[in-house]
Structure formats: structure tokens, C-alpha cells
Amino acid sequence: MDMQAHLNASAPERARALQPLIDAHGAEMDRRREATPEVVEGLFQEDLMRLLLPKSLGGQEIHLVDFCKTTEAVGWADGSIGWFVNQSNVCVATSAAAMPHAAAAAIFNGPRTGLAWGSKNGNSKAIRVAGGYRLTGTWSYGSGMRHTTWIGAHSAVQNPDGSPHMRYGRPDDRTFLFLKEKATEIDDWQVLGLRGTGSDTYSVEDLFIPDEHAPAREAAEERREKGPLYVIISNLLYATGFCGVTLGIARRLLEEYTSLARGKQSRAGITPMARNHVVQLDIGKLEARLSAARAFVHEAATQAYDAAAAGTLGLDLRMRLRLATTHAMQEATDVSVACYRGAGTTAILDSAPFERRFRDAMSASQHLQGMNAHVEMVGRHLIGTENVVQWV
């Protein structure tokens, strides 16, 4: 591919071009519990870390469905790198969209950008002071933070007397961005799967964060960028990207299972797998389930994106995207399990393509984005009964 063709390639195409490199480094990244330098460099070279960044800041601001296809393509090669690509892109985009332009430009400058943070918890406090905040706390699950210069943290804001700080008529809740060197990192990512994300814990103590580095990402009052992605906001962006990763893992396992079935004779069976009616039915049904889940996500993401662009994105379409992404993550998990079981003893071998990806699929299935509570919430919405609306 010549340079001009490369620059004109879509994000999913660039992700697919990177698959051989990511695939080749998968086992090593699993062992190291972080991405290899070669893979990180590849992500920068293919400009896969500015997919959702506003165009006003040099980003690509791609369509939500293209983002889902991109994380799927990366996840096909390695679940951990797909996870990192999704996490960093959503972190970058939602922060930049709510920050002063100059402050965002100074942090997210050029293709070697990136941002990581851990999940929100009650073990933090941000005290409002003149010109900014004093931040103290500990956060876990900082996916990809070993490869970013800047990291972030979420916290509710307090007044100096300990009372909740109010803004826009509600408790003030913010994300605080700071150089990673200012945090204490804790190497504690010892897990079943998605090991290559290096999702360590980190902490800060009484760290001053200036106002311009403390966006209220979910507050419409502070959202500087008005594109469809930034109207959809973080929860559903995360859901769509993580959904893409799980679809990619499941797709890879289904391809490997199908390939295995073409040539394997089970020791317990009387016919080759390719002529076994149970295997034939299994693979056909798994293909239908995975393809249907993927199509539902793409449809719901398109509907939400188009409505956001038109200024008409309401709760019904938010709920539909929430249902589609959660459903797809669950379907991808079931397909991954079925492929692992269908592969028989071959699946447990390190030398075979199943074991590591099965661990990644199981770890991804435990994420909040794939929980049944979301489906229950959508069910209550469809029924019209009393409901607590969240994560949309």
C-alpha cells in the first residue's frame, strides 16, 4: 500500500492491516502483561489512537459503527489490544470534548496520543480550591496506562469543609487529568485474561489539578464539541467499543473452530468432525448467533448516531443501543465458550489458538458493560414500569 492509499484507508481497514503484527505478539503480550513496543508503535503508525478525537484537534471523529468495526478487527487479533484501543479512544474523546481547546490540544497533540484511567470508586476525594482541585485517591483497572504519558481519575468534588460541591444544580463530578509520573503505580494486574492490558492500580496524594485539566465529561453545560459522538457520551461509546472487542474474539474462535473441524477426527467419534451432523449444526447456529448480534449492534449504533447528529437522540434509542451492546457481549461470550468446548482437547494447548482467547473472552464477559442488570433496565423501560435509568 502506497502512502497516499494508506492515509485514505478507513479505520477498520487500518486495523485489519495491523492484525498480523498484533497476532504475532499475542502470546508475548500475555506473558508480559502489557503490549509490546512493536505493537504500540504499530497503533501509532496506523493512527488508531485518535479515532474518536474531535477533528478540531486533529482527530478522526469516525462514525460509531466504524469504531465498533475497528475494535472488532483489533480484538480479532488480540483482545487486550482491542480493549486498550477502545479504552484510550473513549477516554481521549470524552475528555477533549469537554476541555478548553488549548488545554486539550496541548495534551492530545499528534498521533502518539493516549489516555488511561481506572474505574470510579468511593476511595477518592477532590477538594475545590482556588484555580482547581486537590485530588487524593486510589483507582484500579487502568487499562493501557503503561503506554500513556497522561492518566486520569474520576471523583466527586467536595468543598473544603467536606460538603458536596454543587454545580449546575447537582453534585459536581469530574475527571482529573495529570501526568502519569505524578502518580504512584502499583503492579497488581495478575488475572485470568486480558493480561496484555496491564490494567494496574495507581494513586495520588493531595495532587493539585488545574481547572482546565478537570472536565465534567458528562455535563452538557461544559461540552465544547457538539458532534454526534459527544452527544452519545461515554457510557454508550465504551459499550459499543467493548462490544466490538468481544465480537472480534468470538469471531476468531469461531474461525479457528471451523478450521479445526475441516480436518480433525475426534478420538471419541466415529466420523471426522467435518461430516459430524452435530458439529455442522453447531457451527451453523454459532455463525447465525454471532452475525445476528453484530447486525443488531450496527443497526442500533447507526440509529443512535444519526439521531445524535440530528439533535433528536432520546431515551428510547439510548436504551436500544444499551440492549444491543449488552446482548452482543453476552452472545459473543456464549459463542466463545461453545467454540472452546467444540475444539475438544486441542483447545487447552498453549500451541493452539484457543486457550488464550478463551481466557480473554471470559474476562471480558465479567465487565460491567455485559451485565444482565442492563437488560433488566431496558425491559422495565419497554414495559413502562418504575425504573432507575443509568449507563445510557
Pick from 390, 365, 356, 120: which is nearest to 245 by CA? Answer: 365
Domains of the chain: 3-107 (1.10.540.10), 115-218 (2.40.110.10), 228-383 (1.20.140.10)
- Integer-rounded Cα radius of gyration of the chain: 22
Per-residue pLDDT tens digits for 114-165: 999 999 898 899 999 999 999 999 999 999 999 999 999 999 999 999 999 9
Tell me 94's DSSP state.
H
Per-residue pLDDT tens digits for 83-100: 999 999 999 999 999 999
In this predicted structure, what is the pLDDT of residue 7? 61
- Does residue 270 register a pLDDT over 90? no
pLDDT band at 178 (very low <50, low <70, confident <90, very high): very high
CA distances from 232 to 229, 273, 308, 313 (A): 5, 45, 7, 8
Pick from 359, 314, 313: which is nearest to 337 by CA? Answer: 359
Residues with Cβ < 8 Å from 246, sequence gap 6 or more?
75, 79, 328, 329, 332, 333, 336, 361, 364, 365, 370
In this predicted structure, what is the pLDDT of residue 271? 85
Q: Which residue has the cell 457520551?
A: 233
Quote the strand ranges of the chain, DSSP E: 115-117, 124-129, 132-142, 150-158, 166-167, 170-171, 173-179, 184-186, 200-210
Instruction: Output the pTM of the full model.
Output: 0.96
Per-residue pLDDT tens digits for 326-341: 999 999 999 999 999 9
d(CA 299, CA 316): 14
Q: Residues 250, 337: contact at Cβ < 8 Å?
A: no
